[in-house]
Structures are given as C-alpha cells and as structure tokens.
Structure 1
Amino acid sequence: MSMKMKMEEQENLNLIPPTATLEIDKDLTLLPRIKLNLTVHPSTPSSSITNQIDEWKTKRALLDFLQTSHSLPFPLPEEDLQFKRFNKDLKKRKREDPVVYGTLHIWDLSFLSEKNENDVVKWRNGLVEKLNGVELNLQGVRFRLEVDVPECDDFDGMKKNWEEFYAFRNVNRSSRREPDTVVVNGVPSRWFAETRVSSKPSMLVTHTIFSKFGKISKLE
C-alpha cells in the first residue's frame, strides 16, 4: 500500500507543470520563478565614469526597454528588478569593472502555463539572448547590459558537471556511480523550521520538503 501510494505521488508530481505552485503541506509552498543575473558595463572599457550611476535610473531604463521591446507580456513590478553599485568608491574602480549588477526575477509565469519544461527553458534562454548586449543610455553615458542564467538555475550545466565529476572519480572502477547527494547552502534556516515551535531547522520539516521529490536514504 505504502509503495503504491509513493509511486502514485511521484507520478502526480511529474504531471505538475513547471510553472505551477507546489503545495507541500498547509504551511509550505514552492513557487516557481525565472531568475537572471544582470551586469552593466561601460560600452567601452576605456569609458571614464566621473559620477556614480543611479541604481533607480538604471532600473527605470531597463524596465522601459522590457516594456517597449515587448520582451515580457506584462509590466514587471519594480521590486522584481534590483541593482546595486559594483564599487561605491570611484577611485578604486578599474576601467574594465562593471558599474552596477543585479537580478531579474519573473514570478508571474501564467503566460507559460501551457508549456512544458523544455519550452520554459527555451523561452528563458530566448529572453537572455534578447537582453544580453542591450545598450542603455544613463546620465548621458552609454552602457552595455550583460545577462546570464545563474549557475544554480542551469540544470543542464549542473548535470553535465556532475556527470563529468563522477565519471572522472570512478574511471578506474568497474561500475559508474551516479551523484546521489544534494547539498543545500545559502538559504535561511527558518525555511526549514516548525514556525510554531522554534526558529531552528527541523528534521521533520526538512524531510517533508525533500521527500516530496523522491526517496531519502539519509538526512543530515
């Protein structure tokens, strides 16, 4: 009975669209999103920057481009696009250094609800190609936008790295072993806490989250 229910649960999980919200339990929900890294460079490395670049004006310039170029089928909320200065001290800035960097989050994926995972990745990569290299005019100076997918969101890249790493480790062994360990870093511990009990991570909550995606042999 338990084995059958697990198999049915896994099959149901595979049927969930990549843009759908996943309810783990009454207090835990996974929200899909698309995330891109953004870096703004001077159009030419030799450009002389005499004034600090305003992050808000950078944001407005890119939001205007997204709107006028129809890169997105809807206006993007300002809070979903964030920029920070690369180096606040202009005297320490090298000519080839970027001026600001940031992230773009797309939380509303309803326009992709009928697409499968490959279609979503294809759309995301198309957006990267469209934005990468765009020129922005900020405070009378021309800049170039560089866009890429974060390493943690590049599943094909991670899969290739895993395969190469484990193939190399086991080159002298008769059988090849697939990667079987997931290491989670850089997330708030409170996400794995029983909020009504403690703010510290809970084994129960952690197990509940990750067992949703398959069998767990060991949890630390």
Structure 2
Amino acid sequence: MKTLFLVLMLAGSFSAQAQKPLSATLTNPGSLTAKFDPKQKIPMLKSCLMSNGKPRPYACEFALIEIEVVGKNGVTLGKLTPGNSNLTLPKSKASSDVDAPDGKSAALGYLFKLRYRRVHKPAFPTAQYVISTATVDMPSTPSELKELHTFTDVPGKLPGAIQEYAFIVTLPYPTTGSPALIVPIRYIQIANPVTFGKFQSPINKLSDRAETAMSLYFGVDFKQ
C-alpha cells in the first residue's frame, strides 16, 4: 500500500459578512503508515455511469473507497464514502486550532485519509495521475480544480491493492459573529490527464471525466 502525506493550507482574509476565495499552499512534511484488516470487505465499482445515467465512454480506472477523517490524538471522527459523504466534525476534536495574526479569524485542521484502488486498466496510457480538489461540489471547468498530488501507477492484477493518500485540510472560520467554514473542500477526484482530455462537450461535469470522484458535504459543529 502506498501512503503519502500532504498538508493543504487554505488561508485568506474574510469576515462574518463577506467571503472571499482562499489560496492554497502545499507542502510535503512526511509520511504515514496505515493498516487494514485483510478480511474487510471493500466496496467495488459495479458500474461506471456518468451523472446523466449513461455509461462512461471509457471504463473508470479507479474506485474511491473512503476518506477517513482523523482528529486530535489520532482519533477517527468518521468516514466519507461514495454512498454517504455527509459528516459533522466536532470543533473540539480538531487536530489543530490556530488563530490568525489579524485576531479576527482562526483555522481548524483535520487529517483526511483518501483510500482508493485500481479496478480497470487505463483507456489511454499516462505518465502520471492527478488528485485534485475543488471548493464546489460539482465542478464543470478545470479552472475550478486545485491540484493536490500526482502519482504513478502501473496496472497489474485487478483489482489492485488499496492505496492511501493522506493530507491535512485546514479550515478557516471567523472568530467574531456566527462561526462558519469559509470555502471548504467540497469535491475530490483522481484523473488520468490523457483520458480527461478526450471528453468533448456536452460532457462537461468533471466528475464524468475523472476516473473516480466524490462530492464532500462535511461540516463542523462549533459547539462540540
């Protein structure tokens, strides 16, 4: 199993009344080790349908299994899955809660562990695959994507081994007025850049062009 670690920093200026897009700074400080129960049943991709219900022109290469969310002291707070991507995270369980220099904002940090596996050979060969996120749940233009990580993957016996990519999501919020997350991640995908570029209009939703994707609807309970 491959395990990688990345810090995704979302930072920017905001107030309780106004919200502005945030920039992201990426670093790679280290690695993690994850273990899985070999007897655990892993959900497999039974079909590869697009958002309009029609079969995708090219078979999906990967299946997203889950995103485990980890908080303070390594405690698992819940999991986001393709069948249930709603999750409420307690503020008190965040792995970090850092005040901004302006004194008007702060940011919570949670560890996200993305798990996926290969389920089909590539439709088109590629030198690398790209994991990206977006702050909208159904992006339709590549400009809405933020590249998170690139990796190589050589197809072998299918289904492939479970792979994991871990990254910290930092969520800014105002410390005055009603607390609310500002521009959190709402989407994640894994794409074969070559296959991704083969799709033509009217197939515009990026989730249809990606090899696997999921909308994310997590939130934070600021009273817990």
With normalisation by structure 1, the TM-score equals 0.28
- The structure with the larger Rg is 1
With normalisation by structure 2, the TM-score equals 0.28
Greater fraction helix: 1
> Which structure is richer in relative contact order (CA contacts within 8 A, separation 6 or more)?
2
